Amino acid sequence: MLARIQSLYLFVVALLAVASMALPIWSFNATPQLIVRDLASAPLDNALYNLASTAGMVLSPLTAIVAGAAIFLFTNRALQTKLIMLAMLLFAGDLVAALAAAHMMNEHFVALGNVVVHQPQAGLFILLPEPLLLFLALKGVKTDDKIANAYKRL
C-alpha cells in the first residue's frame, strides 16, 4: 500500500493540507497585525470575507481527508482516480478561498482609507505544491493500471 509512489504523494498532500491550516496564509501590517488563516479568521463585518474564510476552513481539512482516503483505495484504481480529481478541485477551491479572503481584507482597509503593507505567508506557499503532487499521484495510478492490465493479458 505505502510502497506505491502515489501513496507517498498523497500522504505528502495530506500533510501539506493539514500544515496549511495552522500557518498564516496572508498578513497585513496594520495595528494590530491581522493574519488570514484557515483556523482563525480576523473579525471583519464583511460577509464575503467571512464566506471565503469559512470556505478555507472547510476545504483544507476536506483536501487532507480525501487525499488520505485515496491512499487506502489502491485496490480500486477507478475510485482512487476520482478521489484524486476531487482533491484537485478541493485544492483549487481552497486556494481561491484563501486569495479571496486576503482580497476582501485588503478591500476593507482600502475602504477605511488605511494604507497597509500586506504579503503572502508560509501557509500559501505550502499549498502550492499540492496540485503537482496530486498530478504525479494520478500519473502513478494510471501506471499501476497499465501494469495490472498488462499482467492480466499474460
pLDDT in tens, 60-106: 999 999 999 999 988 888 999 999 999 999 999 999 998 888 888 88
Question: What is the average pLDDT across 120-132?
Answer: 90
Torsion of CA 102, 26, 70, 92, to 10 degrees: 30
Assigned C-alpha cell, 15: 500533510
Task: For the chain, count helices (H), then strands (E).
Answer: 5, 3
Cα separation, 149 vs 63, in Å, equals 30
Q: Where does the pLDDT of residue 1 fall: very low under 50, low under 70, confident under 90, or very high at 90 and above?
A: very low
CB contact burial 74-102 (16+ within 10 A = b; e otherwise): beeeeebbebbebbbebbebbbebbbbbb
Question: What is the average pLDDT across 5-11?
Answer: 92
Q: Does residue 43 carry a pLDDT above 50?
A: yes
| Among 2, 5, 11, 8, residue whose Cα is nearest residue 142 | 5
pTM of the model: 0.85
Domains by residue range for the chain, with CATH: 5-153 (1.20.140)
